């Protein structure tokens, strides 16, 4: 109006630019105020909040925010930016400034039975192991009693699990190669201690005999570890556009903050100053909280994970890449005249919509997590289809452990049913449950169980009968296993003499040879017991 009523021919142009919309978060002050007033967050400086105070307390460097804005650019058309772009700039910035240290978030005790009692070594550990020009290292104490991450051990590991398991070897970061010989459990059956042996010739992780060690895990010395408190922050919302259905609170991520009170860190972290950045190796980037940390007891806020853990839940490989227009792109004419391009929905989004339309599936989604103890990823997959949910429940009714049955359904059954669906399978949930229960009871190994499952998928049949026909029952016959072992000792006499001379790493060689000849049916603990008898 003002320009229209001026008595001049000059009419300066007016430009309007789009606001910055970031997926999985909100920037509306009104909505942020609602979160604070309803105590859904812990204030304006809550590290989950997209405020400057919140980002600062989470440990986000200002340089990362500026680079994020440079990457996003300025556009006229409405658009949304993947928050993964911000996380990328944070990782890229902290990668050059955060020293690497060791911290165990969920400790599991490890006792090295053949390590000299009372001995303590100091291992040289660099702060930047992959960046040669960087300087600085620290002495890392190593003793016969350690703590490792609970997730780095599985009693019956799946394929491609390269960490610690009974009879398997793993490399300790900067330390030695150890092998798990015995698992100590509590009354509930949960592992509370691992009794392992170490190879003294593998200091620094090398293997003089050339054997391949695929897994490397982090650890801390039990006698020297310091207790720390760790807060694992994640995205505040579970959907790209929070509140799009009118209810913002329904989209909150219940796992956006997980507080771990009893974490154990290497000694150097006891003197960590507030405002310092660190990378916990294999865990993520962390920031010493400037508010709640006290001298000698730092509190660490996770700034960002090492990789995008959200991708597993969001199935990002099935979604179209969401990027903002390049600077100036909005000035060019669009074939759609400014309309937004339709995005391909991810499988997670499809399953979420199915649950929203089917209360029966939604109820199962909550019950599978709360009552059966399933991980959110497994519960999500199993409740995306009513037929699949019923298949899973039939396996449980047949005696299978819910968490174990869920893994078999998600990892094995869905793979077998890709072409014709569940209806085309020659077996049902009852047969799968019987098979999983047999594996859990130790009647046959997980590897043999997958062989039985493949036969069931091709020909059908009862798992028990297939096991008998194929001769896959786990062998506990001392005589039969001993005969195989004696033949191997005679064939590899040089390796056996080296084992008797103290090369404990060769124990795994003989166990592996027996397992190979028995097609995985021999009991590994029995093999180790018989081998030790022969060493004496």
With a CB cutoff of 8 Å and minimum separation 6, the contacts of 408 are 395, 400, 432, 435, 436, 453
361 alpha-carbon distance from chain centroid:
26
> Do 20 and 12 contact (CB within 8 A), yes or no?
no
In total, the chain counts a number of residues equal to: 536
pLDDT at 279: 95
Give the CA dihedral 231, 128, 164, 228, nearest 10 degrees: -30
The 3-state DSSP class for residue 299 equals strand
| pLDDT, tens only, 40-62 | 999 999 999 999 999 999 999 99
Helix (H) or strand (E) holding 364, with range, is: helix 359-370
With a CB cutoff of 8 Å and minimum separation 6, the contacts of 527 are 481, 485, 510, 511, 514, 515
pLDDT at 78: 75
- According to DSSP, the β-strands at 216-217 and 284-288 are unpaired
Spatial CA neighbour of 423 closest among 390, 454, 463? 390
178 alpha-carbon distance from chain centroid:
22
For the chain, which ranges sit under pLDDT 70?
131-135, 308-345, 472-477, 504-505, 519-521, 523-525
526 alpha-carbon distance from chain centroid:
32
What span, in angstroms and rounded, lies between the C-alpha atoms of 5 and 387?
69
pLDDT at 343: 52
Nearest-5° angle of CA 17, CA 20, CA 24? 155
pLDDT at 388: 92
Tokens of 59: 């440990």
DSSP 124-135: EEESSTT-TT--
pLDDT at 335: 40
- Long-range CB contacts (within 8 A, 24+) of 68-75: 71/324, 72/20, 72/324, 73/324, 73/325, 73/326, 73/327, 73/328, 73/329, 74/17, 74/327, 75/17, 75/18, 75/324, 75/325, 75/327, 75/329, 75/330
Spatial CA neighbour of 103 closest among 304, 255, 284? 284
What is the phi/psi pair of residue 37, to 5°?
-65, -35
What span, in angstroms and rounded, lies between the C-alpha atoms of 281 and 289?
19
């Amino acid at each position: 109006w003002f320009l229209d009523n001026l008595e001049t021919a000059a009419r300066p142009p007016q430009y309007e630019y789009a606001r910055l919309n970031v997926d999985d978060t909100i920037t509306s002050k009104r909505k942020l105020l609602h979160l604070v007033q309803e105590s859904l967050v812990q204030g304006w400086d809550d590290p989950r909040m997209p405020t400057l105070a919140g980002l600062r307390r989470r440990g986000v460097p200002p340089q990362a925010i500026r680079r994020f804005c440079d990457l996003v650019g300025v556009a006229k058309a409405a658009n949304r930016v993947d928050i993964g772009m911000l996380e990328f700039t944070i990782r890229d910035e902290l990668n050059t400034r955060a020293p690497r240290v060791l911290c165990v978030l969920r400790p599991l005790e490890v006792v090295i039975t053949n390590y000299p009692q009372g001995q303590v070594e100091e291992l040289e550990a660099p702060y930047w192991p992959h960046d040669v020009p960087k300087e600085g290292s620290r002495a890392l104490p190593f003793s016969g009693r350690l703590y490792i991450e609970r997730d780095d051990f599985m009693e019956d590991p799946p394929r491609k699990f390269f960490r610690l398991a009974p009879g398997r070897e793993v490399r300790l970061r900067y330390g030695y190669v150890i092998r798990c010989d015995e698992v100590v459990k509590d009354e509930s059956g949960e592992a509370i201690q691992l009794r392992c042996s170490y190879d003294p010739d593998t200091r620094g992780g090398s293997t003089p005999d050339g054997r391949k060690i695929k897994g490397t895990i982090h650890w801390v010395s039990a006698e020297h570890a310091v207790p720390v408190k760790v807060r694992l922050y994640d995205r505040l919302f579970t959907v790209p556009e929070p509140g799009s259905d009118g209810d913002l609170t329904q989209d909150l991520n219940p796992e956006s903050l997980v507080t771990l009170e009893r974490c154990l860190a290497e000694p150097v972290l006891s003197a960590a100053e507030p405002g310092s950045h660190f990378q916990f190796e294999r865990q993520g980037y962390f920031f010493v909280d400037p508010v709640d940390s006290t001298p000698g007891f730092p509190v660490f806020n996770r700034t960002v994970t090492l990789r995008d853990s959200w991708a597993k839940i969001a199935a990002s490989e099935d979604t179209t890449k969401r990027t903002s227009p390049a600077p100036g792109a909005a000035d060019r004419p669009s074939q759609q005249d400014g309309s937004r391009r339709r995005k391909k929905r991810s499988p997670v989004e499809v399953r979420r919509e199915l649950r929203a339309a089917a209360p029966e599936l939604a109820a199962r989604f909550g019950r599978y997590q709360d009552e059966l103890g399933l991980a959110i990823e497994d519960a999500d997959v199993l409740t995306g289809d009513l037929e699949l949910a019923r298949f899973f429940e039939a396996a449980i009714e047949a005696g299978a452990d819910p968490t174990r049955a869920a893994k078999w359904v998600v990892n094995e059954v869905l793979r077998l049913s890709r072409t014709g669906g569940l209806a085309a399978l020659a077996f049902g949930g009852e047969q799968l449950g019987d098979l999983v229960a047999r594996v859990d009871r130790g009647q046959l190994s997980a590897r043999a169980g997958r062989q039985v499952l493949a036969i069931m998928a091709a020909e059908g049949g009862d798992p028990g009968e297939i096991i008998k026909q194929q001769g896959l029952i786990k062998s506990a016959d001392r005589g039969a296993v001993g005969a195989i072992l004696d033949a191997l000792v005679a064939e590899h006499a040089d390796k056996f003499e080296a084992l008797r001379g103290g090369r404990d790493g060769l124990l795994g060689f003989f166990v592996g040879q027996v397992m190979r000849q028995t097609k995985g049916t021999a009991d590994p603990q029995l093999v180790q017991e018989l081998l030790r008898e022969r060493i004496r």
